[in-house]
Amino acid sequence: MSRRVEPIEGTLDLDVDLPGSKSLTNRALVVAGLADGVSVLHNLGLSDDTRAMIGALEAFGVKVELDGTTVTVHGTGGALRRPDQPIDANMSGTTARFVAPMLLCSGGGSLTAHPQMLGRPMGPLLDAMRSLGGLVEGDALPIEVGSVGTIGDQVTIPADVSSQFISGLMLVAPALPNGLELTLDGTVVSRPYIEMTRSVMQRFGATVEWSGPNVLRVAARGYVGTEYTVEPDASTASYPLAAAAIVGGRVRVRGLGSDSAQGDVGFADVLRRMGADVRVGPDHIEVRGSGTLQAIDVDLGPMSDTAPTFAALAARADGTSSVTGIGFIRTTKESDRLAASVTELNRLGVQATIHDDGFTVVGGPHHHAEVETYEDHRMAMSMALLGLVDTPVTVLDPGCVAKTFPGYFDMLDQLRATARSEPLVLAIDGPAGSGKSTVAAMVADRLRLPHLDTGAMYRSVALAVLRSGVGIDNDAAVTTVAENAVIHVGSVVTIDGEDVTEDIRTPEVTSSVSPVAAIAGVRRVLAARQRDWAIDRGAAVVEGRDIGSAVFPGATMKIYLTASVEERARRRAAQTGATDLEDMKRRIAQRDEIDSNREHDPLTIADDAEVIDSTGVEIDDVVDTIVTRWMALTDAANGIGGTP
C-alpha cells in the first residue's frame, strides 16, 4: 500500500486541532492505573501506542472505560494484579519501558512486543530493575519478571541512553514501599521528557524533587485519582507547523503553547530561526511561512523526535543545515532515524550525509520517488511534507502513522482543501507623514498578520543607487540596480545581506527616494516582488502609496490614511528632531506634489478605499477602527486572516 502526496496550490490558512500527546497520554494512563481512586482523562491521544498501554493496564487488573477520547480509569492504589498472559507492548516503546517496572508491583509477569521492538535496547532499565531486587530474565524483550521480595529504594541508571528508562522508574516509584532515589549517571539526554514525567506525576499528587543536578527523589506516598486533560502532541504539531513554513501561509495549532510541559514545543523556535514568523501564546502556536527557509545548525538533543521533521525542512532550505546531539536515537526509536532520514532524502535527490551524532542536509529540489518508512510513523509523516511543494512524493506503508496520529493524511487533505490561491491583503495607502508605517505595524501586530513596508523597499533601492554611482536620472541603469538588489524588509532591512535598517533613513536617501520611485522600471520590479511576498504569506498588511490602486487592486480591504499638512509636518519633525516646521511643511507638500503627479502609479485614492483622516486623532483609535472593520469583513470566527 502507498500514498501519493501531491503539491498544494496556494497558501495555507487553517487552525488545527491535534490529538492528545501520546507521551502524556501513556504517562497519565500509568499514573491513573497506580492511583488511589478514579481518574478521568480527557482528549486522549488514541493510537496504536495508547491502545497497547490500555491493554497492559487491563492485564494488571485496572478497569478502564473508554468513551471517545475520554477514559475513566479505576485506580488500584498500586496493588497491581499479576498478568495471566504475557503483556504485548506491540510497537510502543513507551508502553514497553513504562510497563516493565510496573511488573515490580504486580508480583511479576511477562512482557513481549512486536518483532520490531524485540531488538530495541532495554538493558539499562532491566539492570536497574535487578539492582532493586527484581528477578528479571532476559536482556531484551521478551522478558519474564519473577516474584519480588524486598524492593530497594536507590538505583543508578545511565542518563545518556533513553529518558524513557528513567521515566519508567519514576512513574512506578510512588507505588514502591520506600519510594525511590534515582541517580542519573552521565549527561542526561532529553531532559524535557523527564520534566514532562515529573509534571504528570505531580498532577496526581506525587512528590518528585531534584536533590542534586542528577539525583531525583520520589516519595512513597502514592497517587491520587484526578481529572486530567491531555494537551495536543508537540511532536505531532511539528508537521502542520512545518507545512506552513514549507508551503507558505498560516497554520495555528490550538491547545498547545508556552504553558506546555512538552519540550518539543521548542521546535517553534527552530522554525523561527529558519525564517518563519512564529507566535507562541499560552494555548497556541502559530506559524506564518513564505515557503522560503534559511539553513541553520541546531542541536535537537532535547527534542529528538522532531529530527525527521527538520530533515524535511532542511531539504527545502537555502544552504547547508546540520543537526547534532541525536546520536542516541539510532538505537532507541522505531528505526535508525539518522540513517533513515539521510537514505530517504538521498532517494529523493537531496544531498544528505550522516555523522556520529546527527546529519547534514544541503537544501535543493527533490524529484519524485517512493520513500520507505521503516514501519516508523515519524518517517512517514516527515517525508510526506516534501510532497506538498513542487514535486509529489509517494509514501510506502502510510498506515504506520496509526501508531500516534491515525488522521495524519486527513489533516494534510484539510490543509489542501483550505489553501488559498489569492492572498488576503489589507492595503494602507497615504501621503508622507500620515502615519502609515506606524499604523500598519500596529494593525499587523493586532491581527497577527505579516507586515510589509513598501516604502522601505523603495528606500533600499534609492540607497543601492546612491552607492552604485548610477545617476538617478538614468532610468535604465536605476532599474537594473533594482533588479539586481536582493532586498529583505522586516524588523531588519538588508540589501544583499547587509543590514541597512538605519542607512535607508538618512536625509540623502529621503531626498532621492521620490525620483527613484517615479521610474516605471523600478515600480514594475518592486510591485512584482510585493505581490510575490504577499502571495507567499497568504495574508498581509501592506502599506505604501499605490498598494490599493496599483499593486493590489483587488485587495480585501483598502484604507487611505491621510492628515493635514500641518499635522504631518509636526509628526515628521517629532521623528527627525527638526525644529523648522515651515520648512518641514514645504518638504511634505513638495513630496505630495511629486508622488501625486508622477507618470506611473501616482499617489491616488482608490475608488473603493475608505478614507481615514487622522488629524487630531490618537494612533490607537485609528488602529482600533481599522482592526474592527477588518474583523467585520473577514470571518474571524474561522480564523481567516488573523484574530487579535
pLDDT, one tens digit per residue, over 419-476 is 888 888 999 999 888 888 899 999 998 888 889 989 899 999 999 999 999 999 999 9
Nearest to 537, CA basis, from 279, 277, 254: 277
Max Cα distance, the chain (Å): 95
For residues 530-554, give the mean pLDDT.
89
For residues 333-351, give the mean pLDDT.
93
Q: Cα–Cα distance between 371 and 286 in angstroms, integer? A: 29
pLDDT of residue 495: 93
Contact 223, 34 (CB under 8 A): yes
Contact 389, 291 (CB under 8 A): yes
- pLDDT of 641 over the 70 cut: no
Contact 599, 546 (CB under 8 A): no
For residues 329-340, give the mean pLDDT.
82
Nearest to 557, CA basis, from 641, 437, 441: 641
What are the contacts of 119-127 at 24+ separation with CB within 8 A? 120/93, 120/96, 120/331, 120/332, 121/161, 121/162, 121/331, 121/332, 122/96, 122/97, 124/157, 124/158, 124/161, 124/162, 124/165, 125/97, 125/100, 125/101, 125/157, 125/165, 125/168, 125/169, 126/100, 127/157
**Fold observed for domain 2-18+232-417:** UDP-n-acetylglucosamine1-carboxyvinyl-transferase; Chain (3.65.10)
Compute CA distances 641 → 426, 450, 540, 625, 635, whole Å. Answer: 10, 10, 8, 17, 8
Catalytic residues: 305
C-alpha cell at 251: 497554520
Q: Cα–Cα distance between 360 and 466 in angstroms, integer? A: 41
pLDDT of residue 237: 96
What are the residue ranges of CATH 3.40.50.300 in the chain?
424-638
Digit-coded pLDDT (tens) for 355-404: 989 999 999 999 999 999 999 999 999 999 999 999 999 999 999 998 88
pLDDT of residue 332: 63
638 — pLDDT class (breaks 50, 70, 90): very low
- pLDDT of 636 over the 50 cut: no
Q: Cα–Cα distance between 331 and 540 in angstroms, integer? A: 45
pLDDT of residue 119: 74
For domain 424-638, the question of CATH label 3.40.50.300 is answered with: yes
Compute CA distances 475 → 9, 133, 410, 472, 520, whole Å. Answer: 37, 86, 52, 7, 8
Q: Cα–Cα distance between 190 and 357 in angstroms, integer? A: 14
Report cis status (omega within 30 of 0) of the bond before 142: yes
For residues 174-191, give the mean pLDDT.
90
- Coil, strand or helix: which one is 469? coil
Question: How many CA atoms are closer than 13 Å to the CA of 70, on its beta-carbon side?
Answer: 7
Lowest mean pLDDT, pick from 250-254, 629-633, 636-640: 636-640
- pLDDT of 157 over the 90 cut: yes
Question: How many CA atoms are closer than 13 Å to the CA of 611, on its beta-carbon side?
Answer: 9
pLDDT of residue 183: 95
- Coil, strand or helix: which one is 609? coil
Compute CA distances 105 → 137, 147, 194, 317, whole Å. Answer: 17, 9, 21, 50
Sheet with 215-218, edge to edge strand ranges: 154-158, 180-185, 215-218, 208-212
- pLDDT of 604 over the 50 cut: yes
The dihedral formed by the CA atoms of 247, 251, 256 and 260, expressed in degrees to the nearest 10:
50
C-alpha cell at 327: 546520536
333 — pLDDT class (breaks 50, 70, 90): confident
Lowest mean pLDDT, pick from 132-141, 237-246, 339-348, 634-643: 634-643
Q: Give me the amino acid identity at 158.
A: P
Percent of the chain surpassing pLDDT 70: 98
What are the residue ranges of CATH 3.65.10.10 in the chain?
2-18+232-417, 22-229
For residues 273-292, give the mean pLDDT.
92
pLDDT of residue 497: 87
This prediction has a pTM of 0.72
545 — pLDDT class (breaks 50, 70, 90): confident
Q: Cα–Cα distance between 493 and 499 in angstroms, integer? A: 6
pLDDT of residue 141: 94
pLDDT of residue 371: 97
Lowest mean pLDDT, pick from 174-188, 363-377, 627-641: 627-641
Q: Cα–Cα distance between 24 and 43 in angstroms, integer? A: 11
Q: What phi and psi values does residue 307 have, to the nearest 5 degrees?
A: -60, -45
Compute CA distances 266 → 92, 234, 378, whole Å. Answer: 24, 9, 17
82: left (phi over 0), alpha (psi -120 to 50) or beta: beta
- pLDDT of 331 over the 80 cut: no
- Quick one: CATH architecture of 22-229? Alpha-beta prism (3.65)
Higher pLDDT, 97 or 330: 97
Contact 310, 171 (CB under 8 A): no
Please state, rounded to an integer, the average pLDDT across all residues of the chain: 91
